[in-house]
Structure 1
């Protein structure tokens, strides 16, 4: 009976030997660590207007939604957030899920029909990869950010329904997908384009409307947008946005929507307040861009291999998984939190520190954090 536990123990030993052990590290409320690991790009998670809106909804609705959206989980807070998201993104409709992960699973499944071909970028997030797998559709993985390869994959399957699946800003290196070119290729072959805008929403585009808006694709009928509400909006949950008929299809058939307890109303209300701040936050986006450029200059000047980010994700190559883990731990010991990405979380088997720039961190603390990263280099 204990054989399966022994097998798990052996697998854990192998992961440890490869430097791939993962640990949960609880964070105390009000800690003083400089946070360059989380995704609170605009510093809105603790904004007084956001927490006040969440507090009012908490008092009005209670802790949880108490059921799925189709039972008792839909509240005025959910519908108000969905209307605001649709208006911001310039689409007919949007639907809020309890996580961005579930939004991606639901969107891909809903876009899949018999014979559908999914064409997925090699650097796509795990939620997109899992969405392709769970859909059961044939999936072709194309080289990263390569419209010609996407065109070749679509040309090899003439007459079949197809969906091109990509992120806008990729979560590991922070580079921007060639969305306009991908859309042109998809349209030429009669395919749809699904864009995960998680790391661009609030950061890029007019009024922070995201990478799709920045590429001039707002409201295109053959584009579906997904995003998480836990990054620049500082909350939780996910959204799928696009034509009203597709949103209706999700409400009536989407398993990750129908059978999941709704996002807590307090979170929906807080995210709604954050959306208003993000939409009017051109000054925050300018600060974010300035800090991102500073981080790249400072880290490269120290001789580090650094990505060329298009948003606020800065990737720093580490010698290996163990070195990356030690580097991040040394930074944490000196009061700076940075991300540590190792295989299999990286698409190319390279280990990295990931610095997510936060406009809410005091400028002096941000500069000191960059110094710490350099001083702790393995």
Structure 2
């Protein structure tokens, strides 16, 4: 291989006024003016800070057994998996976790990815492509949306949970193969999708259904097995389930569950599996330990939901269907200001603005944990209500529940 040096004439100085990225300054100013600029929230190890912004629904990320599981994996396998899963990035821990998750969730097989995002993108692009149809709704997570876009299939977007529209799209298609895509519990407001109806619609028209259970694992269903299990669909034919290790299991990573044939197909065709470094061993060890805790304490999800109901009642909004309480404020800056007031008073809350939510529905998103006690939940409610009053939102003006 030879190296070719660029001639001086090909090197343009920024001082010449030809900076191709100069538009970024204008874009940043526009976002700030609209209240849509974002900065990562930097956490510190402050034990007095109450976190109701994370997706650590069962409070297991810091559980001693989960931390010990991560340590044991580090001691045995080191910090990284060192390669893609198809080279040497698959350890015995990966296979054990996949087997245990498949057994717990009632599927023949599972395949772990480095993140839930990659699991969704990999599954969709491996199952649908040019000449196929994907039917997705307006409530699906960004990872599902991006998977649809990258698949190059024709995509029909239906209203959230509108299974009649899904049936119509499938009935009118000209494509031989079709895939229906949905969250089981919508991430923004925690409302459940009509999974059973969507499954029936898909089966009636020869399509497969992919359900993202990221916000249902550990939250809904028998022993926290998810909404698919709650609806009696675990292991059903033509059903693909994705979920994550990074929420209720307090670790990192994503998983696709289905038939053994599906697992084999993903290994051959899912680019986010083939070309990505394998999930790090510490995350695998932590997730296995967390899954063991969930198996041994089947009422943990019940405690979580009871805490969510208590917080919703203290704020004065309807009981949540899962672990998310969504408080619609309206304008982006008001949501940002309210979240900052809460943070200054020792409570971390989520702040969601467009494009994560529709214009005019910026909100605080509260995620309850199973390990919070009653007085602490009441304290969170007091802080949140105080912050809302300071930004001009009165008690009767809070909109909670589903975003229709």
| TM beyond 0.5 | yes
Q: Which residue of 2 aligns with 1:299?
A: 315
Report the 3-state secondary structure (helix = DSSP H, G, I; strand = E; otherwise coil) of the residue aligned with 2:276: coil
Partner of 2:357: 346
SS at match of 2:351: strand
Question: 1:129-169: CA deviations, max 9, x gaps?
Answer: 00000001110000011111111111111562111100000
1:53-77: per-residue Cα shift (whole Å, max 9, x none)? Answer: 1111111111111111111111111
The aligned counterpart of 1:45 is 61
Distance 2:352 2:28 in 1: 18
Helix, strand or coil: the match of 2:247? coil
Equivalent of 1:355, from 347, 366, 380? 366
**Cα deviations across residues 201-252 of structure 1 (Å, max 9, x unaligned)?**
1111112111111111110011000011100000000000001101001111
Larger radius of gyration: 2
Question: With CA pairs under 8 Å and 6+ residues apart, which has the higher RCO, 1 or 2?
Answer: 1
- 1:81 aligns with 97
> 1:42 touches 1:358 (CA, 8 Å); kept in 2?
yes
Cross-structure match for 1:303: none
CA deviations 1:73-120 (Å, max 9, x no partner) are 111111110000110111111000000000000000111144211000
Q: Does 1:260 align with 2:276?
A: yes
**Aligned partner of residue 73 in structure 1, secondary structure:** coil
**What are the superposed Cα offsets for residues 244-280 of structure 1, whole Å, 9 maximum, x if unpaired?**
1010011112110011011111110110010111233
Question: What secondary structure sits across from 1:140 in the alignment?
Answer: strand
Does residue 313 in structure 1 map to residue 329 in structure 2? no
Alignment check: 8 A CA contact 2:105 2:225 kept: yes
The SS at the match of 1:164 is strand
- Structure 1 segment 26-65 matched on structure 2, within 5 A: 26-65=42-81
Contact 1:207 1:280 in 2 (8 A): no
Q: Assess, with a 3 A threshold, how the Cα gap between structure 1 residues 41 and 202 changes in structure 2: closer, same or farther.
A: same
Q: CA deviation at 1:307?
A: 6.2
1:89-238 equivalent positions in 2, closer than 5 A: 89-158=105-174, 160-238=176-254
Provide TM-score, normalisation by structure 2. 0.90
Could you tell me the TM-score, scaled by structure 1's length?
Answer: 0.96
RMSD: 1.3
Corresponding residue pairs, total: 373
- Give the stretch that moved more between structures: 243-252 or 277-286: 277-286
How far apart are the structure 1 equivalents of 2:359 and 2:217?
A: 25
2:84/2:274 contact within 8 Å kept: yes
Tell me which residue corresponds to 2:19: 3
Return structure 1 stretches of 4+ with deviation > 4 angstroms. Answer: none
**Aligned partners of 1:113, 1:127: CA distance in 2, in Å?**
16
Matches of 2:298 and 2:321, distance apart in 1? 16
1:32 positional shift:
2.4
Aligned to 1:71: 87
Structure 2 Cα separation of the partners of residues 110 and 348 of structure 1? 33
Map 1:11-30 onto structure 2 (within 5 A): 11-30=27-46
SS in 2 for 1:65: coil
Aligned mates of 1:98, 1:143 — CA distance in 2: 30
Aligned to 2:11: none
In the alignment, structure 1 segments of 5+ residues that lack a partner are 301-305
